[in-house]
Amino acid sequence: MHKIDIPEEILARSRALRGEKPFLFAEIDPTRTAHVVIDLQDGFMVEGAPVEVPVARDIVGNVNRITRALRAAGGTIVYTRFTSDPASWSAWYARGYMTPERAEEHREAFAPGAPYHKLWDALDVAEGDIIVDKTRFSAFTPGTCDMHEQLQARGIDTLIITGTLSNCCCESTARDGIQFNYGVVFVADANATHTDAEHNAVLSNMITLFADVQDTEQVLAAIEAGVRRASAA
């Protein structure tokens, strides 16, 4: 698991902007919330995979705890799968961001139906969950994923973001989430990338500008608080 270390000056700036309340979303209405699990596919999870992120295997337990709690409370679960699309995304595949050899490996690994493309078996995927393919880092890039349309059809206005890589697809989706008018909770101990430094840089960006940063226990408490409020209404 990543060692969480958000610098105090970043936390102070966040408090100055948002006030002294500990969280933006101390209560989460499950019926209007989606848990978006980003790209926990074999291509990121298996030992020796093309984009192996070892820490991502450590977060699966927390991801599943959030999934089960939100699903039981009537929330929506979304799993995204990164899907290669070199024909329309030439900037990523053919402009030098990867060597030709790495680009071809990446294309093959994340092609629809390829073994590395599938979701990690240990995830708690259930009938009724949404599974979407996306061909860009963000699940909100127009024309590359229909997640936004599916969420809007369900009346979703809040996202809980988990998955991998913290500083790539998770961060991109969270940043775009607020642009698409969602409240965003970025889970500190249920996102993963290659190093603590990269992970903490993302958390610092999230807490100052784009999202509420909570850990798994805090998210579970926020879901429970939403359930209690609904029961009392």
In the chain, what are the domains?
A: 8-232 (3.40.50.850)
pTM, 2 dp: 0.96
Structure tokens at 153: 């059809």
Peptide bond into 165 cis (omega under 30): yes
pLDDT attached to residue 21: 83
pLDDT at 153: 97
For residue 213, the surrounding DSSP H or E stretch is strand 212-214
> Model confidence over 35-54: pLDDT tens digits?
999 999 999 999 999 999 99
State mean pLDDT over 54-68: 98
Average confidence (pLDDT) over 171-183: 98
How much is the mean pLDDT over the chain?
96
CA–CA separation, 143 and 30 (whole Å): 28
In this predicted structure, the answer to whether residue 103 has a pLDDT above a threshold of 80 is: yes
pLDDT beyond 80 at 233: no
Assign 147 to helix, strand or coil.
helix
Beta bridge partners of 103: none
Question: Which among 91, 35, 94, 88 is positioned nearest to 66, based on CA atoms?
Answer: 35
